[in-house]
Amino acid sequence: MTIGGRDVLLQQIVARLPAGSELTWKQAEGPASGPMTLRGVHFSMPRQRDPDCVPTPQASCAMGRIVLDADVVTLDPALRPLLGRTLRLDALDVRGATLDLPRSDTPFELPTWPDVLPQIEPPLALQAGTIRIDDFNVMQEGEPLIAIRSARTGLHAASGRLHVERLRMDSDRGQFTLHGDYLPRENYRSDLIGTAVLPAPAGRTAPRLGLVAKGDLSRMSVAVAGRLPAPTQATLTLRGDKDAPRWHVRAKSDALDIGLLTGAEPGTPMALNVDANGTGGNANLHGTFKQGDFSATIQPSKLSLVERKLQLQPLVVDLFEGRVTANGIADLQDPNDASLKFGVNARGLQWTSADGKTAIGGDADFGVAGKPQAWELKGQARLQRGNERAIVDVTGTGNRDGMRVDALRASMPQGRLDATGNIAWTPSVKWTANATLAGFDPGYFAPDWPGAINGTLVSTGELREGSKGLLAHVDAGKLGGQLRKRALSGRATVDIDGDAYRGDVAIGLGNSRIDAKGRIANTIQVDANLAPLHLDDLLPDGNGVLRGTLKLRGARNAPDIDIDLAGDNIVFGDYRAERLLAKGKLPWSSGNGLLLVDAQGLQAGVPLSSLRASLRGAVERLQFDANAQGDIGTLAVQGNANKQGARWQGTLASLQFAPQLGARWTLQQPTRWSWDGRNGTLSQACLRSADGGDLCANADWPRRGLDLQGEQLPLALAVPYLPERSDGRPWALHGNVDLTAQLRPLGNAWRGTAKVTSAAGGVRNRARARRDLLSYRDLVLDAQFDRQRINATLGAVFDDDGRIEARIATGWDEYAPLDGALKINTDELTWMELLSPDIVEPTGKLDADLRLSGTRAAPLIGGNGRLQQFATELPSLGIALQDGDIRMDAQADGSARIAGSVRSGEGTLTVDGELDWRSQDTPLLLNIRGKDVLLADTRQVRAIAAPDLVVRYRAGQPLQVTGTITVPEADIHLERLDMGVSPSPDVVVLDPVDPKTASAPLSLQLDLTLAMGDAVKIDGYGMQGTLGGSLRVLQQPGRDMRATGTLEVAGRYRAYGQNLTITRGTLLWANSEVANPRLIVRAEREIGSVTAGIKVDGDASAPQVAVYSNPAMSESEALAYLTLGRPLNNLTGAEANQLSASKAALNAGTGLLAAEFGARIGLDDAGVTESRALGADVLTVGKYLSPKLYVGYGVSLLGTGQVLMLKYLLRKGFDIQIESSTLENRASVNWRKEK
């Protein structure tokens, strides 16, 4: 078709438009057969605001207009299909267009099924193979709805049929895709798949949604799932008759933020779990809802919506620890004869004051009945506080447009409130209210605000459309009475007109007086006087006193400031100030002023012990000098700020920051800066650390962005911020890092990169150690980030030939998806010595290949890790572990299986268990088993065991150990078990562990059974024998270890110079302390027909010792047989003295009792020891006369003599010891080395 034909065709199209429509264009290009381009297109057509409105001669219907303006519209039509009433476009391009839609005034109607589903009825069938839209804005009467940056799709729309071909749309409301079919004419058969990625504020993860809809009304499934921001799912299933199908709806989310869907500011997310099912319009409903501190439970309830008739049968909701039940019906079948009748009953509602001391209980009954155009409200609420009750009655009438409150009365023992008013909600929200208070107690409604208030309240207002905003007037006059047990007096008037405010307040409450008067419009004039203000008068959780004045004069955004405020012990929400002083005058632009701020004990987001600031000049010509000190350290800054036009600029003259932990930072030279609200600059600013290294920044935003450089920054700068080592030693880091980072503008957002490099570095056990426990070289960390995402990679060579590679991609908040990987390969394991001071020279090979997924709040770990050929020495136990092989394999459910083994001695210890990564607590379960495992091989103990243990650990909970340890073979040398030597007073320990910083011991919960085998041997302190039996040991955190069971001791015991046979050696525990068993010990010797022995009974903390014999004889006679093997009448004089000494020692009890006695009388040493000079045990007492000189005196338990002992400490572990006894004199030089 020719160019002329094109113009004829366009004119024909204009002529056939509906009445009142218009289509114009500034320029047309190309033939009608296409492609045809129209420039400067304008299309407008009328549209009824209410499609159901029928005009009459007496009344017309409200009309609006659909207006489309486009810079360029390009069409490539196929004309022949027009004969079949189908407009086919091979291509449609629209660029630079605006579509303005009219507001709809369609009145609300209850939906009916399936009429509620959208219909597809275009005036002309449309088939477009390729549609391209760029810069397309949709508005509603001038208010933006959506701005489409680009859209690409194909479309086929006809009566009862719609096919969308791979729609991809990018807009200010998000990114959307849609593909599939929707066929209302075929029983609403649908096959649709769609996605949405919605915008999010900076630092928040973008919400994502997916939609799948398949089937028709006889069998359809619809699912919506995504993250909003937590995982959210909703499903709908339909089965059966299309007019009354069986249906089921489920919706669940742990955190659903509606603001993310509507584009509003993010709010407090809600958690919900709702389940509804039914047939047709009948529904059964139950579920839960929680948002912040508010929660509600929907009990099993019934609702019905059939043929425009809504019924609650009933709806039951539990909230505020009570129950609300709603019953009723709204019959809207006939608009001319509609009716409604609803009743709401509340029982057992409760709410409390902030401190929980005052509780309010509430019951209520409300009813609404009538027609939509004329209905009545009547209700009563009964509020109980202790023994007192308040009753609230309300009556009113209403229609479709609003409501009149005929009477609202709240009566209580102290007084009452009477109010009337009107509320309109169509066409806009308006209200008038009048109230009289006579001893009204608001504490029944807000428990933290009890009182008895007198006065009047008047309020009028309107919520206007568009930019006009709120228009309101509030007048509170003749206020009196008391509030929170404080006398109340005063008045208040407030007017609001859009963004203009006017007020006059004079309030007295308790010891506080507030006078404030002013207006805020294009200019500001405010006068406030606190004379004084006691914050606990004003706020239940407030404290402290503020006194002084504040005056503001000048332009609204540039007022002169005149302030004289002082405060003490201020508590206001999360803010604290032990002392606050703000005094001075500071003009905004002209003149010279001085404003001083001095605060102590400040908490305003960052805790500060002190803040002092001096501001001189004017706000637009400001000189500042500030010092702040707090937990983070001390900061001192000086500089100036000046305003020229819309641009602020100035100089940061000096800055010093001394953190509480770490090195001091100092600004090297003054730095220039500027900012005008959108553009800013920063000259090169460099901070130098006292430990070395520079950190520099400069900016030119948004032209070039922000640059950050760090050069030769010592790793030691990080030491103060690292966690405490398990051995209490300080971290010894060496090496330097370099940092380069950029922040670049990207449209209305930004994008950043950072790179950290280090040529070499490492960790040593001590600063003077010659080797590294962990070393690295060629470390590179790269990161890219923007407002929603961060991506980082790390690579380094460590311990010569090991390699670590890591990457991570996630967002900034806890709901952000997590994607990452970690690979480690090394055969140097010396870094394990950092984990425990007992590990020495570990060797082996570690390979790990881990994958991260899930979210930051709930990470999942996949992959595997393996430690093989592991070997190490444990000197404290005297053993060497060998042939270690431990493997961790991540499971699909987010947990990880652990399995491995290690050889110790001739036995092998096996480990298997599970580590659950799905919980932040990271619960650990390990099964530890083995046979012939060498547990210790030292001079004190050599033990072989067969453990069968279960270990459980959850963060924040005690470590649980249960099971059995069988000890088939052991050699226990009692005298060597307590060989630790306390340092003498003159010993100085270098580099001790700070007890304030030493980590707390891990809390332990034990349920352990110790079973002794047949080859457990013990010796020492005169004992040679075996140990048998079993013992169950129990320990709860914070309590003493207790035990139940029996241990049997057999063998020989040497006492009184004789070898005694242990005929019974029993230690009993009956849920008693481990250190205090019950003793039943018998040791004896046979001399011919006489058996003499010693018995020990009672608790170990207070044993009872006695001598016995068979046949029975006196204690002295039995002791003679026990110690000397002869009766008393056969003893010589010396033997009799020896016997007396033995008896005295026996009567004195045990060496433990002697030691306790010595400590009580001020001796450093008292007990039973062995004397080489006497060749026997002696009862000794002694004391240090100086840190190096010790003197002791002892008496032989066998009566063979006395001994005097002197010991003198030399240097480097050497000492001289001299013993002088009645038998001989001895001297020795000793050397001792402590390990």
What pLDDT was estimated at residue 993?
Answer: 45
SS3 call for 1154: helix
At residue 1177 the predicted structure's pLDDT band, cuts being 50, 70 and 90, is: low
> Hey, which of 237-246, 432-441, 985-994 has the most confident mean pLDDT?
432-441
Q: What is the DSSP letter of 183?
A: E
What pLDDT was estimated at residue 727?
Answer: 66
What pLDDT was estimated at residue 1067?
Answer: 86
Mean pLDDT, range 308-313, rounded to an integer? 91
At residue 10 the predicted structure's pLDDT band, cuts being 50, 70 and 90, is: confident
Q: In 240-338, which ranges are E strands?
A: 246-256, 270-279, 282-291, 294-306, 309-319, 322-331
Mean pLDDT, range 927-937, rounded to an integer? 91
Mean pLDDT, range 776-794, rounded to an integer? 93
Closest Cα to residue 279, out of 316, 306, 314, 251? 306
At residue 878 the predicted structure's pLDDT band, cuts being 50, 70 and 90, is: confident
More confident residue, 59 or 357: 357
What pLDDT was estimated at residue 938?
Answer: 87
CB neighbours (10 Å) of residue 925? 17
**Measured distance CA(419)–CA(416) in Å, rounded:** 10
Tokens linked to 1026: 């075996």
At residue 1126 the predicted structure's pLDDT band, cuts being 50, 70 and 90, is: confident
More confident residue, 769 or 295: 295
User: pLDDT (tens digit, 9 = 90+) per residue, 1198-1215?
Assistant: 555 677 787 877 766 677
**Measured distance CA(267)–CA(260) in Å, rounded:** 9
What pLDDT was estimated at residue 892?
Answer: 66
**Measured distance CA(154)–CA(90) in Å, rounded:** 10
Mean pLDDT, range 827-851, rounded to an integer? 83
Domain ranges of the chain: 1-52+60-186, 691-722+734-744+758-762, 1043-1142, 1150-1235
**Measured distance CA(31)–CA(562) in Å, rounded:** 74
Beta bridge partners of 847: 825, 866
Mean pLDDT, range 1034-1056, rounded to an integer? 84
Tokens linked to 300: 């099993």
Beta bridge partners of 928: 911, 949
Closest Cα to residue 116, out of 53, 70, 184, 67? 184
- Scored b (16 or more CB within 10 A) or e, 711-741 reads eebbbbbebeeeeebeeeebbbbebbbebeb
What pLDDT was estimated at residue 758?
Answer: 94
Mean pLDDT, range 810-819, rounded to an integer? 89
More confident residue, 148 or 1146: 148
**Measured distance CA(343)–CA(275) in Å, rounded:** 24
**Measured distance CA(183)–CA(191) in Å, rounded:** 9
Residue 977 has pLDDT above 80, yes or no: no
Least-confidence region, from 617-621, 709-713, 722-726: 722-726
User: pLDDT (tens digit, 9 = 90+) per residue, 204-246?
Assistant: 888 899 999 999 999 999 999 998 888 999 999 999 887 789 9
> Hey, which of 17-21, 379-383, 766-770, 1067-1071 has the most confident mean pLDDT?
379-383
Percent of the chain with pLDDT over 70: 88
Cβ atoms of 73 and 46 within 8 Å: the answer is: no
How high does pLDDT run on average in the chain? Answer: 86
> Hey, which of 379-388, 811-820, 1156-1165 has the most confident mean pLDDT?
379-388
Residue 860 has pLDDT above 50, yes or no: yes
Q: In 84-124, which ranges are E strands?
A: 86-101
What pLDDT was estimated at residue 370?
Answer: 94
Give me the amino acid identity at 456. Answer: T
Residue 1149 has pLDDT above 60, yes or no: no
Residue 725 has pLDDT above 50, yes or no: yes
Tokens linked to 102: 């009219």
Residues 6+ apart with CB under 8 A from 829: 842, 843, 844, 846, 870, 872
At residue 1113 the predicted structure's pLDDT band, cuts being 50, 70 and 90, is: confident
